[in-house]
Chain A
Amino acid sequence: MDFSLTNREKLFLQMIKDFADNEVKPLAAEIDEEERFPVETVEQMGKIGLMGIPVPVQYGGQGGTNQLYSMAVEELSRVCGTTGVIVSAHTSLCVAPILENGNEEQKMKYLPKLCSGEWLGAFGLTEPNAGTDAAMQQTFAVDAGDKWVLNGSKIFITNAGYAHIYIVMAMTDKSMGTRGISAFIVEEGTPGFSVGKQEKKLGIRGSATCELIFENCEIPKENLLGAIGKGFGIAMKTLDGGRIGIAAQALGIAQGAMDETIKYTKERKQFGKPISAFQNTQFQMADLETKVQAARLLVRSAAYKKDENLPYSVDAAMCKLFASEVAMEVTTKAVQFHGGYGYTREYPVERMMRDAKITEIYEGTSEVQRMVIAAKIFK
């Protein structure tokens, strides 16, 4: 395996770091404080091509790799966890399942506008009674001859209210268990489909997290994604890819907190010297730096395997498990190194600590990642 960056990756990093520092960073504290979804950033990202990186050019994508995509999520999250997850949920949870499971008509209809950023994407699996146990779907889709009729609700859906395209899981045959679940493409504005209340959250407060409500929502027959009864498999495979995105988000948040802490501890003086001169600071920071780099290698390796069409679900689980826990550790210690100042909103580390926590929860909690990894070792 080659660990060095390609020339393309180097040039891409030059662009994305520049974009993150100059366009995304200046808004991060404000959108957190105001719980405001950054529509202007999404529009800019669409123009540059950040909303469809790993999609072939023939579908309006950028013809890039999952490696570049994960680097983008990392760099955006380094300065703003909210912006990172907007791109990740859109790309991994909406664009990817259409690309991987859609028929030619569906790909031509949805991907170009999703990749250009004109449309934003979302994914609805979780329900009030189907969280970790996602198979307990209570949303139903009934075959009404020339259409499907959906009833039920989803909860905690990222990008909801701003998205135009929703990938929605629903039960089509309860007697079949997980094989009775199917995936559907639901467009914004479909009669009977509405977006419910927006959650007030601990972190990633600029991102929209809402309920989806389906009341006799009629969708065209051709909006079934993949074969009937294959929805659960599609959802699980989608989440495998999504976990690389969330791991990259966690990694970015961790790196952002490292950067802030290195800068701060070099400036802040106590007992007549910068606190970076204390051995406690140095040793702890050395450990954290090592963990962040280890997380990065796990993310790179999972993205590499996805790009090479190698099995990657266990790699995705491992990189998400590790990177999210590293993000939590780094951000918590970053606040500690900032002392009382770190606890205030004058410095970004408290926001990073709040943002980091979600990476241990969504797209499968850390417990779920351990189940995936354990299932492989004890199979």
Chain B
Amino acid sequence: MNKEKKEKMKIIVCIKQVPNTTEIKINPATGTMIRDGVVSIMNPDDKGGLEMALRLKDKYNAHITVITMGPPQAEAILREAYALGADRAILLTDRKFAGADTLATSNALAGALRCLDYDLIIAGRQAIDGDTAQVGPQMAEHLGLPQVSYVADLQYNQNNLLTIKKETEEGHQLLEVEMPCVLTVLATANRARYMTVSGIMTAFDKEVEMWNADKIDVDEEKLGLKGSPTRVKKSFTKGRKGAGELFEVEAEEAVGIIISKLKEKFII
């Protein structure tokens, strides 16, 4: 870290509680998710982001704040984050946040972030339930910060600079970005550590700060249902693809089979 900077590097990680299944059921009447009876977990990409922050903490003694917006039960993932090594936890919870789309969510989070000190903001790339990958980039826009999405690796350099490996469809890019900035991280970026037993023992003795809409710096019109321009027109469960056909043959024979199959379906 920059020696002239007296304070520790401050990292904020945005984490979301999600149902532990990729097969979300939608209530056909309301078009919203049915969350009852599903086990909730910390979103995998967010766990990757938290691990990235924890590695910076191991190396540079950074201070980590985790923040989530959600119902009171979302406290569970904040306790988990404490057991993994986070230093401070904030739960944004208020009826006024309810019914938020991605814009209202990112506005609420940005409102909270404005009240906090940070050098680095880390979000997951994408939540496995909402799946939009919009919240991180939107937060960066609200806060006027540089952002890098799809982060697979990172290195801290002097003078507040980060060298970042960003995944792309073709391969990866190496980028340099100045802090403060927003990163959205992939679950595959690293192997998340296990909670320690002593971490679990002390996680419930620590304070989870409860913040409501009055506590954050944002126009109330931008929150919850009121602040959500998205209207769900229709939602449906995607039909499952049938099981494929399996041929265990030599390469040459395989080519013949593929060609005839493609012709059969008028693809070629």
Tell me the A residues contacting B by CB distance below 8 Å: 7-8, 11-12, 14-15, 18-19, 47-50, 53, 57, 62-64, 68
Residues from chain B with Cβ under 8 Å of A7 in the complex: 79, 204
A48 to B203, CA, bound (A): 15
Report B116 CB to chain A, min CB distance, Å: 26
Using known A-B contacts A7-B79, A11-B79, A11-B80, determine if residue A49 contacts B196 with beta carbons closer than 8 Å. Answer: yes
Contact check, B198 vs A15: say whether CB atoms are below 8 A apart. no
- Specify the chain A residue showing the minimal Cβ separation from B201: A63
- B:180-216 near A, CB below 8 Å: 194-204
Jot down 17 A-B pairs with beta carbons below 8 A, ordered by A. A8-B201, A8-B203, A11-B195, A14-B80, A14-B195, A15-B195, A15-B200, A19-B194, A48-B194, A48-B196, A48-B197, A49-B198, A50-B197, A62-B196, A62-B197, A64-B197, A64-B200
Residues from chain A with Cβ under 8 Å of B199 in the complex: 49
Contact check, B79 vs A68: say whether CB atoms are below 8 A apart. no
Interface centre among B76, B196, B200 (most CB of A within 10 A): B200
The interface residues of chain A, by DSSP majority, are classed as helix
Residues from chain A with Cβ under 8 Å of B196 in the complex: 47-49, 62
A62 to B198, CA, bound (A): 5
Contact check, B80 vs A53: say whether CB atoms are below 8 A apart. no
Contact among B76, B197, B203 with A68 in the assembled complex (CB-CB below 8 Å)? B197
Residues from chain B with Cβ under 8 Å of A49 in the complex: 196-199
Using known A-B contacts A7-B204, A11-B203, determine if residue A63 contacts B198 with beta carbons closer than 8 Å. Answer: yes
Contact check, B83 vs A57: say whether CB atoms are below 8 A apart. no
Across the A-B interface, give the 6 residue pairs with the lowest CB-CB distance, nearest first.
A49-B197, A62-B197, A15-B195, A62-B198, A49-B196, A63-B201
Residues from chain A with Cβ under 8 Å of B204 in the complex: 7-8
Interface centre among A7, A11, A14, A19 (most CB of B within 10 A): A11
- Specify the chain B residue showing the minimal Cβ separation from A72: B197
Residues from chain B with Cβ under 8 Å of A62 in the complex: 196-198, 201
Tell me the B residues contacting A by CB distance below 8 Å: 76, 79-80, 83, 194-204
The interface residues of chain B, by DSSP majority, are classed as helix
Using known A-B contacts A7-B204, A11-B80, determine if residue A53 contacts B194 with beta carbons closer than 8 Å. Answer: no
- Specify the chain A residue showing the minimal Cβ separation from B196: A49
A11 to B198, CA, bound (A): 12
- Specify the chain B residue showing the minimal Cβ separation from A19: B194
A18 to B39, CA, bound (A): 14
A358 to B79, CA, bound (A): 38
Report A40 CB to chain B, min CB distance, Å: 14
Contact check, B83 vs A11: say whether CB atoms are below 8 A apart. yes
Report B38 CB to chain A, min CB distance, Å: 15
Residues from chain B with Cβ under 8 Å of A47 in the complex: 196
A7 to B204, CA, bound (A): 8
- Specify the chain A residue showing the minimal Cβ separation from B39: A14
Residues from chain A with Cβ under 8 Å of B194 in the complex: 15, 18-19, 48
- Specify the chain B residue showing the minimal Cβ separation from A9: B200
A181 to B201, CA, bound (A): 38
Interface centre among B83, B197, B198, B204 (most CB of A within 10 A): B197
A229 to B37, CA, bound (A): 58
Report A7 CB to chain B, min CB distance, Å: 6
Residues from chain A with Cβ under 8 Å of B83 in the complex: 11, 15
A232 to B44, CA, bound (A): 52
A217 to B197, CA, bound (A): 37
